[in-house]
Amino acid sequence: MKTITVEIREDLYNKMEAHKEINWSEVIVNAIENKLD
């Protein structure tokens, strides 16, 4: 596995923090895979 760093807006970060049950790494990987398909 490789690691990447992603910069996001603070308001988006705050929304993500409200949903700690979500695996955000998995969400981002899925979004990248979908974009590449």
Chain-centre distance of CA 14, in angstroms?
13
- 31 sits in which H/E element: helix 24-36
Q: Are 16 and 24 in contact (CB under 8 A)?
A: yes
Q: What is the pLDDT of residue 33?
A: 98
Q: Which residues of the chain fall below pLDDT 70?
A: none
Q: What is the pLDDT of residue 24?
A: 98
Instruction: Say what the pLDDT of residue 27 is.
Output: 98
pLDDT score recorded for residue 25: 97
Provide the sign of the torsion angle of the four alpha carbons 11, 15, 16, 18, taken in this order.
positive
- Percent of the chain exceeding pLDDT 90 equals 100
The two tokens of residue 1 are 């596995």
